[in-house]
Amino acid sequence: MIDLLLVAALALNATPIPDKPLKPEAVAKATARADAPEPVLHSVAVTLECTARADGRIEDCHVLGETHPGLGFAETAIALLQNSEVAPGPRDVQFARTIQFMP
């Protein structure tokens, strides 16, 4: 699932190939941009608090903290846990879970 999200994110950031030749100054700009190191996200983590219902459903997840706010990892972490299931228990239980995203 995470691999699919990363592939989709990379595809959205792809630069289209122009229909006509580029001017030399445009090539210089593109080359300068290509030479600039892109930041690699390491240690991306999101901590969620959720409720495990007595019947085993996981609901009511919200973010307690995240290492890279605003990049969509919190929403992805919630989607991974929301409406999942655990072994049924005698009562509803709140729990915290940290999800590590790997590059």
Full DSSP string of 16-62? PPPSSPPPHHHHHHHHHHHHSPPP---SEEEEEEEEE-TTSBEEEEE
- pLDDT tens sequence for the chain (103 residues): 455 554 455 555 555 555 556 566 665 665 555 555 666 677 899 999 999 999 999 999 999 999 999 999 999 999 999 878 999 999 999 999 999 998 7
Q: What is the pLDDT of residue 42?
A: 77
Tokens of residue 39, six digits: 């930041």
Q: What is the pLDDT of residue 7?
A: 47
Helices and strands in the chain: count of H runs, count of E runs: 3, 3
> In terms of Cα–Cα distance, which of 83, 20, 22, 78 is closest to 48?
78
Please tell me the pTM assigned to this model.
0.59
What whole-number distance in Å separates Cα of residue 15 and Cα of residue 29? 13
